[in-house]
A and B are shown apart, each in its own frame.
Chain A
Amino acid sequence: MLTPLNIAVIVKLEPDFSEGNVSYNPDGTLNRAETKNILGPHSALAASAAFYSKVRYGAHVSIGTMGPPNADLILQSAQQISDADETYLFSDRIFAGADTLGTAELLKAGIQKMQGKMDLVFSGHRASDGETGQVGPQTAWKLGFTFLGNVIDYEVDVEKRTVRAKRSIRLQGFHDIIEEVEAPLPVFIAIDPSYKSVFNTASQRLACEKYKKEANDRAQNFKQYLKVLNAEQLGADPKLIGLAGSPTIVFKVEKIPKGKAGRQAEVVDGSSKEEMGRVVARLRQALSTMVIK
């Protein structure tokens, strides 16, 4: 009998950027008070990647998040997606204000407290609010796991204990590359935004249905699967987490000053048919101009 795969997913509570839920201030910045919080979309993808292993390999899945007490609701959402066997909320006032290094230190401690030794850990590509994309790789490094980022597809060889993954590498001003790699477990994977799990065979689809039903049942009673851990219970070194363990601070936030106007715009009334004729003539002219470069 093969040892079942043991998987962890780290997820994050984020502002809901979807239209109708997100609220912006008149100056175009996010109105945090009016915007509700949800399981971040990249986190949701990471949870779906774990669900893939549940269906394909019968993996044991644990989900963890660092956040305020009400972040347990996103663990419920993530359990609904992944059919997680266990969920963990790492919550303590001293975690607040951590930068990516302080957060990674805490998540490392959290993952090490989860049941069993991990074979695979998933994170999202980045958070929609912080957008640094640093917490995944830094947590991986602190765990001593091989890190694979921008993963768009993966398979595990449960017998050989290896993972095969496709990565999408984008280099601005250069070509993009799809790279296929193989690495022995344990591996930490940050899931690319274009990841999509596909279940090809009838038996996979059958298993998918079974686990989806189980996920629904579990998510309805999500508190039963939830463990809440504070700093002491995690055994995290208070000097390495929270504000004390964060090298960086936000020094100031300002509106980006409007640059010098790059161009002088001619303003046209959008309700006038005649004006539109003039616009079109101008566009045709722009398109036909020969430019010697």
Chain B
Amino acid sequence: MTDGDYRHLYVVMEQEEGKLVPVSLEMLCEARRLMDDFNIKYSSKEKVVALLLGDGVKEISKDLIEHGADVVVLVDNPELRYVRNTIYTKLIAQIVTDQDVAAKIESVDVGNFKKPRYMFFAADSVGRHLSSTVMAELDSGLASDINKLVIEDLPLTHQIKTAGKPLIYEKTLEMYRPDFSGFLWTTILCLDNRNPTIERDYHPQACSIIPGVFETKEADSSRNGKVIEYSPRFDQKDLLVKILDRKIIKSEVDFDACKTIVSFGRGIKESPEENVKLIEQLASELDAEIGISLPLSKKPISINQTIDSKYFIPDRVIGSSGRKVSPKLYIAVGISGAIQHLAGMKDSEFVLAINPDENSPIKDECDMFIKGKMEDVLPLLIESLKTQKKVVQA
């Protein structure tokens, strides 16, 4: 492989009816930061390339450039109004391996461009599947649900990858992924096989990025960029899926309408049904909506059907794989505070946590920490709320 084979960071944008989904700009801003550092470190001029597919989306291109894209590759076509996996996968794979597009990106001889160096997708219902199929088509590696990225030259010795020999892997993307518990960080690398018996290039190094973790910077209207319009070639067999209907769903759980949110986590486990009743009482005293932490939506606790279907559902999950909320008052009951959960609630104005363990991470994200088990604390707290209400009413 030569250095010209794999170039640039391609970022797959998501939009709905011509409006960008927030994670798109978050990814672009992070891509800009990484490639600015990259270009300084390696004295190169590799680009951030935004891929924008849709129908009537041309207008958005400017936005993408102002948020960090050097180049926007635009495919504007009625067939692309909604994401259909097959046609989107084929088109994305076509574009990112297209030599003519690569030549236009740099306006200089690109030599033997093969594939992108890096690729980003969103870790949501759309990007999660699209990233999987695009990477299956491009035959390379994909890390999912990433919340930190670093580019390094890494010295590595690996049984399979290097046949046990020490080698330097240059310009390697370290992709950090919080695991299901929220307490461990796994760093994933996508590496070429340099073991002579199984030699193989694995590029691009790709990942999907958790929505809401990277910051969207202010638009910079002084930025210049290029828009490349791409004319798609459609094959009828890639357009077999017919979209019959699309409905926007308003969740029954409306966190935005409430000043207070009471959330609970695995801490309810000792007497789940009684504890949920206490949480309901607390929420009702405060006119609060009820949320849960992610582990509970996986139904780890056996509980009666009514409670289960009312509360242990994805709609109530607060965190990076659920809703992001910022109420006036957030009460975390029996929630230890895994990083995914904190990402969903840390913008709340006042945070009260109830937890027996003073070492749990939630303590660093709350204004008041009641040390104690919810079985003991909640009855006292509810009683106190009732008493004070009586005083106010009298």
Q: Which residue numbers of A lie inside 8 Å of B, CB to CB?
A: 17-19, 22, 24, 27-30, 41, 99-101, 104, 128-129, 131-134, 136-138, 140-142, 146-150, 164, 168-184, 190, 193-194, 239, 243-244, 246-256, 258-271, 273, 275-277, 279-284, 286-287, 289, 291
Contact = CB atoms under 8 A, between A and B. Distances in A.
Contact of B189 (A24, A180, A193, A251): A251
Given A150-B125, A265-B364, A138 B371 contact: no
Given A265-B366, A276-B380, 10 more contacts: A22-B300, A128-B298, A244-B160, A247-B190, A260-B364, A263-B364, A265-B367, A270-B377, A283-B286, A286-B328
Interface stretch (B55-63, B68-76, B217-225, B240-248): B240-248
Contacts of B161: 249
B187 A173 contact: no
B168 interface: no
B310 to A, nearest CB: 14
Contacts of B188: 248-251
| Residue among A17, A101, A269 facing the most chain B CB atoms (10 A cut-off) | A101
B212 A265 contact: no
Given A262-B364, A270-B370, A134 B142 contact: yes
Contact of B180 (A128, A249, A284): A128
A244 B250 contact: no
B32 interface: no
Contacts of A41: 298-299
A171 B125 contact: yes
Contacts of A17: 295, 298, 300
A254 B142 CA distance: 20
A39 to B, nearest CB: 14
A273 to B, nearest CB: 6
Interface stretch (B35-43, B46-54, B105-113, B353-361): B353-361
A249 B142 CA distance: 10
Contact of B245 (A136, A173, A179): A179
A269 B313 CA distance: 32
A268 B328 CA distance: 20
Interface stretch (B4-12, B129-137, B273-281): B129-137
Interface of B: 14, 16, 19, 21-23, 82, 85-86, 89, 124-126, 128-129, 131-133, 135-137, 139-145, 154, 158-161, 174, 178-191, 193, 198, 200, 202, 211-212, 240-251, 259-260, 266, 269, 286, 295, 297-302, 313-314, 320, 323-324, 328-329, 336, 338-339, 342, 346, 349-354, 358, 361, 363-373, 376-377, 380-381, 383-385, 387-388
Given A18-B300, A30-B181, A175-B248, A263 B365 contact: yes
B366 A177 contact: no
A267 to B, nearest CB: 5
Contacts, number: 311
B384 A280 contact: yes
Contact of B184 (A178, A247, A256): A256
Given A18-B301, A149-B129, A134 B144 contact: yes
A57 B133 CA distance: 30
Given A101-B136, A172-B22, A263 B336 contact: no
A182 B242 contact: yes
Nearest to A182: B242
Contacts of B368: 265-266, 268, 279, 282
Contacts of A174: 16, 19, 21-22
A50 to B, nearest CB: 20
B365 A262 contact: yes
Given A270-B376, A277-B384, A287 B140 contact: no
B372 A269 contact: yes
9 contacts: A100-B132, A137-B132, A172-B324, A178-B247, A247-B139, A248-B189, A252-B187, A265-B366, A273-B380
A182 B336 CA distance: 43
B369 A266 contact: yes
Contacts of A177: 16, 246-249
A255 B186 CA distance: 9
B244 A173 contact: no
A184 B240 contact: yes
Nearest to A239: B198
B385 A280 contact: yes
B86 to A, nearest CB: 6
Contacts of A29: 179, 181, 183-184
A24 B180 CA distance: 12
Nearest to A131: B180
B384 A276 contact: yes
A166 B78 CA distance: 22
A164 B350 CA distance: 47
A57 B314 CA distance: 31
Nearest to A193: B314
B180 A176 contact: no
Contact of B313 (A99, A141, A150, A194): A194
Given A137-B85, A249-B161, A256-B183, A287 B259 contact: yes
A283 B352 contact: yes
B184 A253 contact: yes
Contact of A131 (B145, B250, B339): B145
A10 B143 CA distance: 21
B324 to A, nearest CB: 7
Nearest to A105: B136
Given A194-B314, A251-B187, A266-B369, A28 B142 contact: no
A182 B245 CA distance: 10
A171 B16 contact: yes
Between A128, A181, A289, the greatest number of chain B beta carbons within 10 A of the residue's beta carbon is seen for A181
A271 B372 contact: yes
Contacts of B352: 279, 283
Nearest to A147: B85
B195 to A, nearest CB: 8
B155 to A, nearest CB: 12
Contact of B371 (A137, A264, A267, A287): A267
Closest 6 CB pairs of A and B: A270-B372, A247-B141, A286-B350, A247-B202, A172-B211, A261-B364
A219 to B, nearest CB: 22
B370 A279 contact: yes
